[in-house]
Structure 1
Amino acid sequence: MSEVRGVANEDLIRLDADERKRVRRRSWKLLVSLAAPNKALLILAAVLIVLSTIARTSFPLLIAWAIDWALPAAQRNDWVPLAVVGGLYLLASCAAGPLLGWYEVTSKRVSQEMLLDLRLRVFRHTQRLSLEFHENYTSGRIISRQTSDVETLREFLDQGLTALVSGVLFVVFTGASILFLDGWSFLVVIVASIPIAIIFRWYQKRSEVLYRESRVVSARLISTFMETMTGIRAVKAFRREAENDRAYEDVAMEYRANSIKSINLFGVLQPSLVVIGNLTVAAVLLFGGLRVINGTLLVGTLVALLLASKRVFSPVDEIANFYSSLQSATAALEKVSGLLEEEPTIVEDPEPIALKNAKGRIEFKNVEFGYGAGPTVMEQFDLTIPAGQTVAVVGQTGAGKSTLAKMVARFYDVRSGELTIDSVPIKKLTAKDLRRAVVMVTQEAFLFSGTVADNIALGKPTASRDEIILAARAVGAHEFIEKLPDGYDTDVNKRGGRVSAGQRQLISFARAFLADPAILILDEATSSLDLPSERLVQHGLQQLLGNRTAIIIAHRLSTVEIADRVLVVHDGKIVEDGSPAELIAQGGRYAALDQAWQDSLGR
């Protein structure tokens, strides 16, 4: 995976020139794709802002005509020119405000449509990405993409972009009116624009780096906060409050220092623009005044030139004010576009093979596995698990037990060789067929917002209440669910509805059993259960595993007792394979593990 292509590399500020150009093209391509469906509204907004700007920049011209043409005509009792100019001034005054307001509403409507599209894209794409991505990319950084970065884009689209477009058009049209009135004064404005361009370039180069750094630090700030709050029990248990305070303070101070640097840059830019603007008006007044004295410039034209010269630089200050918003939005857009450019590592075959009435036979043929481009985790092996067999996988931590489960669930693809289910290569199965055939229950029993019944029904959304209750009874969850304030209708996230870790695991068991898969994987799924609950679950397992294949990853050897077969994994290899009784009789690694387990129980 290219470091530039995705978001694994947060440090975008260190990219070389070519990579930077590619990231920018990627970012603006995303922005264009968001804007494309709103083409009609964008055209309307463009027309409105042009008409509004023409109306607002026409005032100096109308004043010049009134002084130099209409008033002299009125002195000769010809009131028509004054009436025409007055009518045009009144029309421009009445039209400028409503047109600008209509533009503001239209442009903000476009921005909201774009942001809705972007939020949905980020959410859907993040869900679609493979487990490998989520295990390498912290949740805090993903949340930062969906919240902080999207919010930065919202501020820019709702406020910064509107002001930027309006300001640029105002400068262009006001400059055109100065050129129309007097070429020499226009030349003065052009000369004044040179130092403004130099200052802008200076600001751009320095602020660009600062704002990208700001996005990185902002993501780290959110990630640090999320990690602390998620692990608050461990924080309290080990009294880590003081250390966490210092760590968070360091990141927060880094963010503040970055913000102060940005403020200091703008503190140089804004006064410079004001000074240059005032000097330009003074130059136009001096040069124009001398020409009025010698009769080569009319008084009304000079008044209009002074008004226009003053006004031509007023939006420049506004543009500068929102230039920081542009920089911040550009950095945020790069982050979001990087996330959206990530591709799932697990993809469906364009010509899949249907898996109908899955039996659950699993076969590994010359399979080797490693995570990404990392070292080999499971050395080449062959393994066949007949349909309906319950296999327990044991071994030391990090030996590769869970790796087997992740391959069967296709959270990861094998590096070489072939893995089949019912003789169909797993890579040829659709995600729908695979998820229907294989269900995995992990140690982390996650419950979603909603009722207990809703959480169990995740295994089968069309299930009736009777089916949900039967699944709960099968795993021994019915009794404690009935004791909850509202039984199966209890909200698991509301006061009184909270359940213990063991109860959460039982609910996740019921969810899996309701799905009725051909292959059930339990990845240390009984680790959160106390011994009475575990015995209850084992009874449920014995009742329900009779016709399905089961892979049980376990540290507790009590769970292994219900297995037909045991695989002992050590350093990425299957070193023992047989029934529990056979392996105990052999006196190998499993026998040692079993003896240690018996000793721990005091038997």
Structure 2
Amino acid sequence: MSRPSKPEPSQPATSRPDDRRRPTDASADDTTQLDAEASREVRSRSLRLLGELLRPRRGALALAGLLVVVSTLGQVAGPWLVSLAIDSAVPDLMDGDVDTLVLVGSAYLVAAVVGGLCAGAYVRQAARIAQGVLLDLRRRVFRHTQLLSLEFHESYTSGRIISRQTSDLEALRELLDGGLTGVVSSLMLMLFTGLSLFLLDWRSGLVLAVALVPAWLLTRWFQKRSQVFYREQRTTSARLIVKFVETMTGMRAVQAFRRESTTEADYGRLSEQYRDANLNTMGLNGRYQPGLVLIGNVAVAVALALGGWRVYSGGLDVGVLVAALLYVKRFFQPIQQLGNFYNSFQSATAALEKVSGLLAEEPTVVEPRRPVALPHARGALRLDHVTFRYGDGPVVLPDLDLTLPAGQTVALVGTTGAGKSTLAKLVTRFYDASEGRVQLDGVDVRDLSTTDLRRAVVMVTQEAYLFSGSVRENIALGRPGAPQADIEAAARAVGAHEFIMDMPDGYDTDVNKRGGRVSAGQRQLLSFARAFLADPAVLVLDEATSSLDIPGERLVQHGLQTLLSDRTAIIIAHRLSTVAIADRVLVMEHGRVIEDGTPDELAAGDGHYAALNAAWQDSLV
């Protein structure tokens, strides 16, 4: 009953061409304005996130800035020292004076060594900053994803979350590890090179300034188009990952229904879209970089022609001309590096928008500011005129008023969509009621801390998920550090001890990913043992026995009675053999309770439960 997944902030929903309507000029302007405001908000959110990550590293950033300044000064000093060597040191040497050449050569060597050492130190410092930012971001994404409510996880596919943690963070890593280092040094080199050229010979500086105009126009053209192409690249990459994850996760269904060819065709289509997106970005880059090279070479040629004429006419020294040509040539090399950086920057910007969008998601179930303490819950439940809908959808539970005394085992029966699982999600506070209150021992569950609520209420679902690790660790999930005796007692209580001991290493057996070493029924028994060890006041079983075969179900019946004794229990099951152990049965239809009584009372009547019970009895015969 989850809401449809909504498009990501950087993926605005588009309509098909044949569905579009020609808007009025005013509506078109309004739409454009809204799109522009949304884009500005996304960029602003992304920059805020980057600022939050960099703010604790201000000192390290200042040191990196100092190192790059010193390194750049060392590089920029080279052409100027070359001009001194040509115009001063060489003539002095011809006159027999070696001191000037030694002094200039020593200065050149010192500048090169200092510049190189500072450049290496800057790269290491920037790498430490980048890896620290990535570490914080990975932890932040993982922590925030865990804090988000079940409503988010039921609408946001696992493939998209994996894409945030893998390809998007990888794009940021490429930017921070190499691109950011290169762009800062490139910008500093361009700035100092331009200033040095103007100080050395302002006429040659004017040549450089004129050449900057077409370079700037070309860069703006590249910027506008690459922003669209790289966002499309990130989007197609995420879609490809989602399709792969969904196919691998549902491989059993794919093979059972012989959908290999269909899924292969879908994956091939998405792969082609990803290829085309990459080709678009590469094609754009293939026009941008050669354009910069051409502009740089033309600028050098013009500077050489004008400077050569001035040398010929006596208005310029040869050394100054050589230094000016070196400066002009060196100025355009960083621009090419900036072009390469902009590729990474656009990809990383699109990735940062995705990640910041995930981090901007707000939990719909929030921790109370002043929680009411409930360290020892009894398990009395009260649904006080509860109304619930998923998001803006239709009402699922209309004005449900229900009391469940402490220690009572209640079975919920009804057709699919009757509201049984929704009721369980409200009791466990995976969702909050739209109207009314859900109370535990007289306290609204919205006023309980998550720690107290999760200790008091435990839910066992149809999918008995086992994490990689030992059997012992999986049983102790709800009570870490539990002694071995308690773990074994929990397993014995639900009938799991025998098959655990038959495993290669007993309780130390690694169940592998998703419980690969145990059957579906055995996984369910381990989940019962986990719940028994947690010892909650309220236990919710949502189709928890559906994975058990008939012998397995009979085996677990005694364990269930042990598990449910002295605690409030809500059992959602279609198998009436499980319902039979309940003290009370509630038959639900369209979110309302239409029958309420003991199993025997309802079976003896002529209602919905009586019909279900008769059909079940006939199936046994």
Asked if these proteins are the same fold (TM beyond 0.5), I'd say: yes
1:244-323 to structure 2, matched below 5 A, reads: 244-323=263-342
Given the superposition, is the C-alpha separation of residues 10 and 402 from structure 1 closer, same or farther in structure 2, using an over 3 Å criterion?
farther
What residue is the counterpart of 1:580 in the other structure?
599
Give the alignment's Cα RMSD to 1 decimal. 1.6
1:26 to 45, 49, 60: 45
Question: Counterpart of 2:374 in 1: which secondary structure?
Answer: coil
Are 1:471 and 2:490 counterparts?
yes
Which AA in structure 2 matches 1:291? R
Counterparts of 1:497 and 1:252, CA distance in 2: 31
Q: Which sits farther off after the overlay, 296-305 or 521-530?
A: 296-305
Question: Counterpart of 1:58 in 2: which secondary structure?
Answer: helix
1:501 to 491, 506, 520: 520
* Counterpart contact for 1:491–1:497, Cα < 8 Å: no
Are 1:399 and 2:418 counterparts?
yes
Given the superposition, is the C-alpha separation of residues 497 and 319 from structure 1 closer, same or farther in structure 2, using an over 3 Å criterion?
closer
Question: Counterpart of 2:105 in 1: which secondary structure?
Answer: helix
* Counterpart contact for 1:7–1:342, Cα < 8 Å: no
* Counterpart contact for 2:373–2:448, Cα < 8 Å: yes
* Counterpart contact for 1:12–1:212, Cα < 8 Å: no
Structure 1 residue 585 displacement after superposition: 2.4
Given the superposition, is the C-alpha separation of residues 464 and 573 from structure 1 closer, same or farther in structure 2, using an over 3 Å criterion?
same
What residue is the counterpart of 1:346 in the other structure?
365
Are 1:143 and 2:162 counterparts?
yes
Given the superposition, is the C-alpha separation of residues 494 and 426 from structure 1 closer, same or farther in structure 2, using an over 3 Å criterion?
closer
* Counterpart contact for 2:89–2:104, Cα < 8 Å: yes
* Counterpart contact for 1:7–1:339, Cα < 8 Å: no
Counterparts of 2:464 and 2:90, CA distance in 1: 85
Question: Counterpart of 1:366 in 2: which secondary structure?
Answer: strand
What residue is the counterpart of 1:423 in the other structure?
442
Which AA in structure 2 matches 1:598? Q
Given the superposition, is the C-alpha separation of residues 234 and 137 from structure 1 closer, same or farther in structure 2, using an over 3 Å criterion?
same
What residue is the counterpart of 2:111 in the other structure?
92
Structure 1 residue 69 displacement after superposition: 2.2
Counterparts of 1:65 and 1:584, CA distance in 2: 106
What residue is the counterpart of 2:191 in the other structure?
172
Question: Counterpart of 1:558 in 2: which secondary structure?
Answer: helix
* Counterpart contact for 1:364–1:382, Cα < 8 Å: yes
Structure 1 residue 80 displacement after superposition: 3.2
Counterparts of 1:494 and 1:563, CA distance in 2: 34
Counterparts of 1:539 and 1:10, CA distance in 2: 54
Counterparts of 1:414 and 1:300, CA distance in 2: 81
1:137-286 to structure 2, matched below 5 A, reads: 137-286=156-305
Counterparts of 1:269 and 1:9, CA distance in 2: 29
* Counterpart contact for 1:445–1:505, Cα < 8 Å: yes
* Counterpart contact for 1:52–1:100, Cα < 8 Å: yes
Structure 1 residue 26 displacement after superposition: 1.1
Which AA in structure 2 matches 1:266? N
Unaligned runs of at least 5 residues, structure 2: 1-5, 15-33
* Counterpart contact for 2:468–2:515, Cα < 8 Å: no
CA-to-aligned-CA distance 1:92-151 (integer Å, 9 cap, x gap):
122222211111111101101111000000011100111100001000000110111111
Structure 1 residue 82 displacement after superposition: 2.3
What residue is the counterpart of 2:11 in the other structure?
11
Counterparts of 2:11 and 2:600, CA distance in 1: 55
Given the superposition, is the C-alpha separation of residues 496 and 122 from structure 1 closer, same or farther in structure 2, using an over 3 Å criterion?
closer
Counterparts of 1:454 and 1:267, CA distance in 2: 54
Question: Counterpart of 2:539 in 1: which secondary structure?
Answer: strand
Moved over 6 A (4+): 494-497
Structure 1 residue 293 displacement after superposition: 1.4
Structure 1 residue 8 displacement after superposition: 4.4
* Counterpart contact for 1:485–1:497, Cα < 8 Å: no
Question: Counterpart of 2:84 in 1: which secondary structure?
Answer: helix
Counterparts of 2:335 and 2:474, CA distance in 1: 56
Structure 1 residue 495 displacement after superposition: 12
Structure 1 residue 494 displacement after superposition: 7.8
What residue is the counterpart of 2:19 in the other structure?
none
Unaligned runs of at least 5 residues, structure 1: 1-5
Counterparts of 1:391 and 1:121, CA distance in 2: 40
What residue is the counterpart of 2:150 in the other structure?
131
* Counterpart contact for 2:9–2:42, Cα < 8 Å: no
CA-to-aligned-CA distance 1:204-261 (integer Å, 9 cap, x gap):
1111011111111111111100011011111111111111110100001000001101
What residue is the counterpart of 2:102 in the other structure?
83
Given the superposition, is the C-alpha separation of residues 7 and 239 from structure 1 closer, same or farther in structure 2, using an over 3 Å criterion?
closer
- TM-score, normalization by structure 1: 0.97
Structure 1 residue 62 displacement after superposition: 0.6
What residue is the counterpart of 1:440 in the other structure?
459
What residue is the counterpart of 1:44 in the other structure?
63
* Counterpart contact for 2:515–2:523, Cα < 8 Å: no
Structure 1 residue 326 displacement after superposition: 0.4
Structure 1 residue 483 displacement after superposition: 0.4
Structure 1 residue 10 displacement after superposition: 5.0
* Counterpart contact for 1:485–1:496, Cα < 8 Å: no
Question: Counterpart of 1:567 in 2: which secondary structure?
Answer: strand
Which AA in structure 2 matches 1:238? F
Question: Counterpart of 1:562 in 2: which secondary structure?
Answer: coil
Counterparts of 1:496 and 1:91, CA distance in 2: 64
- TM-score, normalization by structure 2: 0.94
* Counterpart contact for 2:413–2:587, Cα < 8 Å: yes
* Counterpart contact for 1:200–1:269, Cα < 8 Å: yes
Which AA in structure 2 matches 1:277? G
* Counterpart contact for 2:585–2:599, Cα < 8 Å: yes
Identical amino acids, percent of aligned pairs: 59
* Counterpart contact for 2:7–2:13, Cα < 8 Å: no
CA-to-aligned-CA distance 1:419-469 (integer Å, 9 cap, x gap):
100001111100011011000000010001110011001121131111111
* Counterpart contact for 1:38–1:110, Cα < 8 Å: yes
Counterparts of 1:13 and 1:536, CA distance in 2: 52
* Counterpart contact for 1:490–1:497, Cα < 8 Å: no
Structure 1 residue 76 displacement after superposition: 3.5
* Counterpart contact for 1:484–1:496, Cα < 8 Å: no
1:511 to 510, 530, 535: 530
What residue is the counterpart of 2:475 in the other structure?
456
Counterparts of 1:512 and 1:47, CA distance in 2: 58
Q: How many residue pairs get matched?
A: 597
Counterparts of 1:367 and 1:497, CA distance in 2: 40
* Counterpart contact for 1:174–1:312, Cα < 8 Å: yes
Are 1:490 and 2:509 counterparts?
yes
Given the superposition, is the C-alpha separation of residues 515 and 24 from structure 1 closer, same or farther in structure 2, using an over 3 Å criterion?
same
Are 1:591 and 2:610 counterparts?
yes
What residue is the counterpart of 2:20 in the other structure?
none
Counterparts of 2:395 and 2:290, CA distance in 1: 61
Structure 1 residue 31 displacement after superposition: 1.1
Structure 1 residue 167 displacement after superposition: 1.2
Structure 1 residue 345 displacement after superposition: 0.8
